[in-house]
Structure 1
Amino acid sequence: MSYYEPLVYIVPEEEEGFLLKTVLQKRLMVSRKLLSRIKLTEQGIMVNGERKYINVKVNAGDRVEIRMEAEVSEDILPQDMPLHILHEDEQLLILAKDAGIIVHPTHGHYMNTIANGVVYHWQQMGVSCRFRPVHRLDQETSGVLCIAKNPYVHQQISEQMIRHEVKKEYLAFVWGTVAEPKGTITGPIDRDPEQPHVRIVTPDGYSAVTHYEVVEQFASAALVRIWLETGRTHQIRVHMRHIGHPLLGDKMYTLPQFEAEAEGLEASGCLSRQALHAHRLGFQHPGTREWTEYRAPLPGDLSELHRWLQEKS
């Protein structure tokens, strides 16, 4: 049986006499679900190299180790494809995702996904990991994507997201002159009852909070920085449309008053997708416990769009 690299914790003096269970849940923040799973593993919980039950007391200086059985994504076919790796360590893989590629295989779409490329990459490295994206990006959205390499890391970052401690920052090009240089949009979001694949702002929807700030104003559009408190499907696209500034290239959420500008953009040939880019992702690294941030620069198509807008202004 093979295992991921163990998570190690040295018990400090002030925790002398604590129950091992308390150390695991309150200091290492292991969830009950994950703890139950680890307990079933032969070498799942070790203290000073010996397997222990979680109701024993620990001493200062004890070396606590958590081992999780290594896994692979048997249902994902490996595929050699380019990956733009921003960072990789024993716990995380951070990518700059291209637009036009989906993150995970779906029914009828089993290849040409980020998952296929990552599984191949790990296979070539001799690494056994299950593909666990911590979050997802729409097919046409580019930018930073975080993939956890074991269930503990996935749990830790997911809980940071639930507590709104993860910083997700986007860059978007939107139509129109944005009157307020910065603002917050709080319209609840839910499915459109007439078009289930479309989201709308509705009083009965789920709470959604989007903050924005204008970075650069052009003649007929603007570059805005956006950061989120919630993560609803299509949240940025829906909220920016709601305040009258839909994303360039976003045919699903466009507005009639921008049809002429949209036709000009399409004729230019410099953009073939929604102009949204996940620019920055920040969180507390589950391994080092330090705040860490990863950034992906604007990809080629959005850089070209930026120049086109500047030339038209």
Structure 2
Amino acid sequence: MSKIEKIVPEGYHKHKIREFLKEELGLSTRLIRGAAIDKRILVNDKAVKMNYVISRGEKIVIDLNKNETQNIEPEDIDIDIVYEDDDILVLNKKPFMVVHPTRSHFNGTLSNGVMYYFKKTNQNCIVRLVSRLDMNTSGLIIIAKNQYAHMQLSNEMREEHFQKRYLTLVHGNLKEKQGTINVPIYRESEDAIKRVVDDRGQESITHYKVVESYKNAELVECLLETGRTHQIRVHLSYLGHPIFGDVLYGTEDKEFINRQALHAYGLDFHSPRTRKELSLRAELPDDMKLLIEKLKK
């Protein structure tokens, strides 16, 4: 079972428990309210109300498990687990896999596979996506197992020390082998899929570095400072170096690869509970390895 356990320090002696949970543990009002209603907040093994006055040395336990349902059918789909603990599940998503069910992709998604895994391993969790990837983009995705972990990671994603790293293969050879692309990205209409560089858009920052050069192509590492939809694809196309296989922002390259050659290979962040630094990596998928071999020839 997933729980947070804390001993009340001297500084919170004679404070209301609500203050301690919000200030010391950083819990949201919504989480506190729900846990209190369900009697999942205990002091010395007894459920308490939020006006309870705590004393130094008392043991506070917040049970993060709650009965929840989600309209996602469990399916026996192979998922590649890179890291797992009581709070998070990090997966290496295969290319051509939708992350979450939609009207056009109700089954066969990554979330269907995760629900099956949770059921198989007797984990009372729903799928809380911390990050997402396009169907044709491969790589690392974080799923929170509880409301607390999702809240902590969502907050950290807005800070600089949460790093998302990508590897991609682009057409042509960049003049500057490393640099920063800082141009706004805009969605011209609500039903538009394609994004454009436009002053009306949101600030979008991508740091890039050429890892390996080939004849008229390069392997590029991208580090996102912001997380706009299609950000890397838009920015590299804007530089005149579209990603191989990116039909939307470049050209169709079926002789090389049948999707955009973009892989979310690295995540650097803190464990939501222990604050331990996690640095997770996923190697390039086979289709991108094959593309590199073709480019070398």
* Number of residue-to-residue matches in the alignment: 297
Q: Deviations over 1:222-261 (max 9, x none)?
A: 111111111111111001111111111101001xxxx6xx
The yes-or-no answer on 1:204 pairing with 2:231 is: no
CA distance, structure 1, for counterparts of residue 268 and residue 234 of structure 2: 24
Conserved? CA contact 1:73–1:131, under 8 Å: no
The equivalent of 1:297 in structure 2 is 283
Structure 2 equivalent of residue 31 of structure 1? 28
| Secondary structure of 2:192 counterpart | strand
Amino acid at match of 1:97: K
For 1:44 and 1:194, locate their aligned partners in 2 and report how far apart those are by CA, in whole Å: 41
Give the 3 Å change call, closer, same or farther, for CA 277–12 of structure 1 in structure 2: same
1:279 aligns with 2:276: no
Q: What's 2:51 paired with?
A: 55
- Looking at structure 1, the residues matched to 69 and 240 of structure 2 have their Cα atoms a distance apart, in angstroms, of 43
Structure 1 gap ranges (5+): none
Q: State the Cα distance separating 1:73 from its structure 2 match.
A: 4.0
1:1-313, aligned counterparts within 5 Å? 5-41=2-38, 43-193=39-189, 196-254=192-250, 265-267=253-255, 270-311=256-297
Q: Which amino acid aligns with 1:224?
A: V
Q: TM-score, normalised by structure 2?
A: 0.94
> Which AA in structure 1 matches 2:296?
Q
1:164–1:230 CA contact under 8 A, matched in 2: no
Report the Cα distance in structure 2 between the residues aligned to 1:62 and 1:156, rounded to whole angstroms.
Answer: 24
Distance 2:94 2:67 in 1: 27
Q: Residues 19-53 of structure 1, C-alpha deviation per residue, up to 9 Å, x if partnerless?
A: 32222112211112222222211x22111111223
Aligned-partner Cα distance in 1 for 2:190–2:276:
46
Secondary structure at 1:305 match in 2 = helix
Maintained 8 Å contact 1:73/1:119: no
Residue 308 of structure 1: how far off its partner (Å): 1.6
CA RMSD of aligned residues (A): 1.8
Quick one: structure 1 residues 71 and 220, their matched pair in 2 at CA, closer, same or farther if it must change by over 3 Å? farther
The AA in structure 2 aligned to 1:266 is K
Q: CA deviation at 1:194?
A: 10
CA distance in 2, matches of 1:195, 1:218: 38
Name the SS for the 1:162 alignment partner: coil
Cα distance in 1, alignment partners of residues 151 and 202 from structure 2: 23
Which deviates more, 226-235 or 194-203?
Answer: 194-203
Q: State the TM-score, normalizing by the size of structure 1.
A: 0.89
CA distance in 2, matches of 1:165, 1:194: 31
For residues 10 and 36 of structure 1, the distance between their equivalents in structure 2, rounded to whole angstroms, comes to 21
Flag the 1:71–1:246 CA change in 2: closer, same or farther, 3 A.
farther
| Cα distance in 1, alignment partners of residues 261 and 85 from structure 2 | 30
Which structure has more helix as a fraction of its residues?
A: 1
Q: CA deviation at 1:5?
A: 1.9
